[in-house]
Structure 1
Amino acid sequence: MRRQGWPTSWLLTDERMGKDLATAIARAAEAGAGIIVRHHTSGRDERRRIAQAVRESGAVLGIARDVALAAELRADLVHNPDGGTDLPFSLSVHDHGEAEAAAQRPAAMVFVSPVFSTRSHPGAKVLGEAQALALARAACHPAIALGGMDAERGATLMARGFHGWAGIDCWLRT
């Protein structure tokens, strides 16, 4: 896995964060984390507002899917782009097929998930550490562990070969 100059911790936003979103953005930015605006069911104006808050925080800004919005806001990264892009992009990897497909693309990084059980995807089959590491290696890009993560689990997985870790709920905990 190649390592790049990307943050080693990430916040992925979602609608469940509600009024606690600003707190999560502030905590992630203070920790030097990148932040991907991933509010899939929110309108473009709401995603733009959140992205502007991320920009104001000084964090690395990623936009999920929407290449046009990412270009408009001069995002640093597009996560799972919905079309071609000249911006750096990341991809989700959940299985070996997705890892092999990612290895064929010039992705900046991959987000391997779910490593552990997670509240955002209850009942989803988890990969576990060994399978997650195997997928990360197969993807041939810097890999970010996602799913049931926090700083402690992230540090453990980084020591074993991941570039970093990402979470949602962990940024809400005090």
Structure 2
Amino acid sequence: MTQIKSLPDLWLLSDARNDAGLERALAKLPRGSGFIYRHYHLPDPERFGRFLALRRIARAHRHKVILADSALTAREWGADGIYGAARSLYPRRAGLIHLATAHDMAELGLAARLGADAVLLSPVFPTRSHPGGAVLGPARFRLLARQMRLPVIALGGMSGTRARALGWPRWAAIDAFISARRPAREILAHTA
């Protein structure tokens, strides 16, 4: 497993709706943050080209670059790791960070058993990704997350203000860094 200290606390996830602002968001994130490239909406050649452009910017800011794809593709594309449902990350591949998705205790347990380095637990709050969908809420999120030995990253409607209210240091967002007009240091001040 990856050393916990080497995993960023702050993560940006790519999506079709935030694509136009990704360059700016990657540049304003604190050095050493994390970037999860999904872009499921693009055909493979375009997806690869967009990945290369964003990876260059992310690397310039020393961000970890995680690919939502197979370990083989992550290695071919030069990503630091892979992201997806716990079963899709197994078996573990040496040299790659494994970030699993989870929505409940069963999925958290599976991610731990299969050796994920960290898990993104969602949705904590209502999101634009799943309007009207069920959410964990702060109390249930903390209850589940505190039972885990591996790092848990809060996802779903997250922002610096919500991370602070949640009292959780590790969080990820799709929209928070794209729509924010303030500098990253001001956004992050709300997480301390």
Length-normalised TM-score, structure 1: 0.85
User: C-alpha separation between the residues in 1 aligned to 2:139 and 2:18?
Assistant: 30
Partner in structure 1 of residue 23 of structure 2: 22
User: C-alpha separation between the residues in 2 aligned to 1:57 and 1:147?
Assistant: 25
Partner in structure 2 of residue 48 of structure 1: 52
Partner in structure 1 of residue 177 of structure 2: 171
- Structure 2: gaps spanning 5 or more residues: 182-192
Length-normalised TM-score, structure 2: 0.77
Q: What RMSD, in angstroms, separates the aligned Cα atoms of the two structures?
A: 2.2
Shift of 1:91: 0.5
User: C-alpha separation between the residues in 2 aligned to 1:134 and 1:35?
Assistant: 26
Residue 74 (structure 2) aligned to one of 62, 70, 76: 70
Q: Secondary structure at the match of 1:79?
A: strand
Q: Secondary structure at the match of 1:166?
A: strand
Shift of 1:163: 4.6
User: C-alpha separation between the residues in 1 aligned to 2:104 and 2:133?
Assistant: 13
User: C-alpha separation between the residues in 1 aligned to 2:56 and 2:124?
Assistant: 30
Residue 134 (structure 2) aligned to one of 101, 114, 125: 125
Q: Secondary structure at the match of 1:4?
A: helix
Q: Percent identity?
A: 35
Shift of 1:146: 0.6
1:3/1:82 Cα in 2 relative to 1: closer, same or farther (>3 Å)?
closer
Residue 61 (structure 1) aligned to one of 37, 45, 65: 65
2:130 paired with 1:141: no
- Structure 1: gaps spanning 5 or more residues: none
